[in-house]
Structure 1
């Protein structure tokens, strides 16, 4: 494998067993825990000037803090997305600055491209020929796109509720698409059955591969650097499996370890009331969630009733003095429309849970008047434009 100098292997976040990256590929063999890439931070020689002197062209500009060298990356210049100042929304929330990190500008329209780039790169380094994953939609589209670029076969399992755009584009990218049941759990079960028959298929499943959250952590690097190294007071993140949230939390810890920043932002998980296991666990003071028996939200991307990384997510919220908030579907759709009409930015319904959550947090007095609050828009609104238009039509607009 062609890895970066500081990348020393993988470690289980539960039992702490370590793995050589050439041998460990997915979950811990001892306890089934999530594996996390580890680095020798003493061997990383970077400062703020290091990054100022580089083109702001893709997530791979942070190669010293990534597992693989840029010259072996499977990339379409993902990342380097804008952080947009939204003064009208800041006034409405009663904060000094409101930022939206707009991940809709990625190649396939969502932040999933960051994780797909890193995970498909890992697959090629491990000699894979086929990749497989279940997805609520966007991750499947991203995986099929990056697999196509790498010359790999992709096998994508989506629930029937996944949007037409993502289903269509999996096929357009040459992916082998299977639609199974109505929800993400059905797609996951179908993918597991298929993989048992094809053990050589390389899994790109969320938090099964160690590399998707590693690609997504770069959102935090960019957000801080784009603000001239000023750390936002709060980051509100639309949370289902929470892969991006734990990645950004890890990134903040890394940059503090390297002396690039002094403080951590407060992380807030935003969910829909119809499926809010993280919010329920946080409010109850638990360190792990209870699965939601009957999830029910229009926001399919965050309708994850049993998030496997809940302990890590809750650690991120607690250790950064953050929190968790849930809002109703109607409020979430209203927030997507408000962002589009007040600032021009397009948020998919799932992503707008972060905007709706930020409004709710502001109304509860969570933010101060001089705060800088960042919302992560994980995907472009045109992925589910029909849902947003139907919401407007239901209001007689």
Structure 2
């Protein structure tokens, strides 16, 4: 297994047990907790000048802080997405600067490509022939795309509510698709049944593989470098399973460890009111969420009623002096349309929860007026353009 020089192995975020990445591929063998890649930071010599000398061409430019070298990666040059200034939004929010990290420009149109690039690289390194996962939609499409590039068979379990575009592209990329029930919980149940029958399938599931959050952390590196290491005051992220949020939190702590920044940005989890287990846990001061019994939101990508990594998500929010916010579907859809109309950027409804969440934070007085706020657009608006158009038609537009 070809790994980078500083990659030290895998550590359980719950019990602290450590494992050799050569033999451990998924959850902790001691307690079943989430495994996290670790590095010998003292062995790394990575400074601002070194990064500035490299082309801004792919997330793999940070290979020293990834488990696998770029030359072995399953990659389509994902990452290196723009950080777009949005002055109208800054005026509306009442802050100095608003920037949108536009992840819709990745190969399959979402930030899921970052995670699947590293996870599929790991699957191939472990000698897998088949990969599998349950997904609300976009992660499944990305998995099928990267599996195809790696000459692996993919098995994707989706709920019926996944967009037509996503379901079509799973098949176009050569993936075997199983549609189960209306919501993600039913797709997960079907996936778990299949995994029990196929012990040779390599899981790409959220926080089952240790490598998806590792790919997504590169969003954090890029944001900090694109701002010339001037740490933003707030990063607002549309949160379901929270993979990207904990990834960016890890990225910021790593850059601080390496002396590239002195402080952490404040991370904010934005959720839909119809499914907001993280917001509820944060507001009530709990260290773990309570599952939402009856989730109900149009934002399928963040309708995750039982996020398994909630302790880690809540730690990231509190350690960074951030917070959590929920807004209703009407506000989220209006936010997506406002960004498209005012700034020209196309956001899927799920992603626009971060915009409506930022507006809500502003109305609460969370910002003083001189802040730099970064909002994550985790996927392209053309993924669910029909939802946005239907919303406009419902208003007679």
TM-score bracket, normalised by the shorter chain, equals over 0.9
Deviation at 1:359, TM superposition (A): 0.3
Deviations along 1:78-135, one digit per CA (max 9) or x if unpaired, are: 0000000000100000000000000000000000000000000000000000000000
Deviation at 1:229, TM superposition (A): 1.4
Deviations along 1:307-344, one digit per CA (max 9) or x if unpaired, are: 00000000000001100000000000000000000100
Q: Distance in 2 between matches of 1:228 and 1:387?
A: 37
Match of 1:395 in 2: 395
Q: Distance in 1 between matches of 2:91 and 2:64?
A: 39
Deviation at 1:30, TM superposition (A): 1.3
Deviations along 1:221-277, one digit per CA (max 9) or x if unpaired, are: 001111111110000000000000000000000000000001100000000000000
Establish whether residue 270 from structure 1 lines up as the match of residue 270 from structure 2.
Answer: yes
How large is the RMSD of aligned CA atoms in angstroms? 0.4
Q: Which runs of 4+ in 1 moved over 3 A?
A: none
Match of 1:168 in 2: 168
Match of 1:141 in 2: 141
Structure 2 counterparts to residues 293-304 of structure 1, below 5 A: 293-304=293-304
User: Which residues of structure 2 form unaligned runs of 5+?
Assistant: none
Q: Distance in 1 between matches of 2:151 and 2:380?
A: 27
Match of 1:218 in 2: 218
Structure 2 counterparts to residues 1-397 of structure 1, below 5 A: 1-397=1-397
Normalization by structure 1: what TM-score?
A: 1.00
Normalization by structure 2: what TM-score?
A: 1.00
Q: Distance in 1 between matches of 2:372 and 2:34?
A: 32
Deviation at 1:348, TM superposition (A): 0.2
Aligned length: 397
3-state SS in 2 of match to 1:351: helix
3-state SS in 2 of match to 1:99: strand
Q: Distance in 2 between matches of 1:27 and 1:10?
A: 10
Q: Distance in 2 between matches of 1:324 and 1:304?
A: 15
User: Which residues of structure 1 form unaligned runs of 5+?
Assistant: none
3-state SS in 1 of match to 2:384: helix
Deviations along 1:185-229, one digit per CA (max 9) or x if unpaired, are: 111110111111110000000000000000000001001111111
